[in-house]
Amino acid sequence: MTEPAPTPKVNRGAYDIRKGAAGYASIMGSVSGFTVPTVILVFTVAHQQAKSHPADFTLIVGLLVLSLLGCLASAFAFSAISGEEYLTPNLPAATMYVGVGVVVSIVSIIASFEILAHIYLKTATGFFAAITAGGGLTGAIFNGLSVVDDWEMRINRPELGSSDWLVSRRHAHAWAARLCGIGCFPVLLGLALYWDHIGIRLTATTAQAFGGAGIFLTTASIICGTLRTLHASSETIDKGVTRAEAIALQSILGISLLTLMLVLPS
């Protein structure tokens, strides 16, 4: 008597974005805890150099507060994504929105250290600028790859429907590469301009405005990401990430990082 052939394993894709979001939530919560003592440190030492570097210290505080708020808000947003009971097409899109705020928040922390180096250790400014750019490149790549999740989650899940613009895994990978390029090119441009000593020098007033704009961008992207977790009112509506959304989010992220690189003192 022959044994029955084993039932072939159904390919359900290779990634569950809810599990990833759960890990991201704890990471961002930990990073937000790191920014608090950094802010306290800056206020402790600021009285010694604040008169000679008012714009720099204003920008540092603005970037750190931006990071604190962004990391805390993104931790809650990722927790909301990880708490979803069912895997639905709107979750990768929500992650891309939140990812913009996450990347800006983390890169802002690194950028604040570049400004501190400019004040206290000028020989290390280029090193920290390169690390800032590296953080921006890494974040832009991670965020661009989220479109692959939109394709992977639909494999052998007919109840999720097909993507409106991604027709195959190869096509999804090709678009992910394009989106990574859209996010990375402005960062590389900003680093090149930094090395050529081309940038924007802020005053104390414009540094406050820059920090406020960064806080608005970060919180707005995270709030939009949280709202993106809302489910469609009809099963016929696909709320997966659209091509326009992906391009716009990566463009906004890249331009934001370029602007950050331009305001760093070289």
pLDDT for the residue numbered 12: 53
Task: Give the whole-angstrom CA distance, residue 181 versus residue 227.
Answer: 27
Which has the minimum average pLDDT: 43-47, 153-157, 238-242, 260-264? Answer: 43-47
Of 238, 215, 233, 252, nearest to 93 (Cα)? 238
Which tokens hold the place of 184? 């990375």
Confirm if 162 and 154 have CB atoms less than 8 A apart: yes
Q: Residue 3 — pLDDT band, cuts 50, 70, 90?
A: low
Per the domain annotation, does 211 fall within a domain?
yes
CA dihedral of residues 229, 233, 238, 244 (deg, nearest 10): -60
Enumerate the H helices of the chain as residue ranges. 17-49, 54-82, 90-120, 125-144, 146-152, 169-195, 204-227, 243-263
Model pLDDT for residues 41-69, shown as the tens digit of each residue: 888 776 667 778 889 999 999 999 999 99
Of 53, 50, 39, nearest to 108 (Cα)? 39
**What is the arithmetic mean of pLDDT over 121-146?**
95
Buried residues in 99-134 as b, exposed as e (16+ CB within 10 A): bbbbbbbbbbbbbbbbbbbbbeeeeebeebbebbbe
Has residue 6 got a pLDDT over 80? Answer: no
Per the domain annotation, does 44 fall within a domain?
yes
pLDDT for the residue numbered 70: 96
Alpha carbon of residue 172 to chain centroid: 20
Per the domain annotation, does 12 fall within a domain?
no
Per the domain annotation, does 51 fall within a domain?
yes
pLDDT for the residue numbered 38: 85
The count of other CB atoms within 10 Å of the CB of residue 67 is: 28
Residue-range definition of the domain harbouring residue 132 = 17-263
In the block, tokens 């965020």 appear at 143
pTM: 0.91
Mean of pLDDT over the chain: 90
Q: How many domains does the chain have?
A: 1
Model pLDDT for residues 148-195, shown as the tens digit of each residue: 988 888 887 888 888 889 999 999 999 999 999 999 999 999 999 999
Task: Give the whole-angstrom CA distance, residue 62 versus residue 42.
Answer: 11
Confirm if 144 and 179 have CB atoms less than 8 A apart: yes
Model pLDDT for residues 69-105, shown as the tens digit of each residue: 999 999 999 999 999 988 888 999 999 999 999 999 9
pLDDT for the residue numbered 7: 54
pLDDT for the residue numbered 42: 82
Per the domain annotation, does 248 fall within a domain?
yes
Of 137, 133, 249, nearest to 193 (Cα)? 133
Q: Residue 128 — pLDDT band, cuts 50, 70, 90?
A: very high
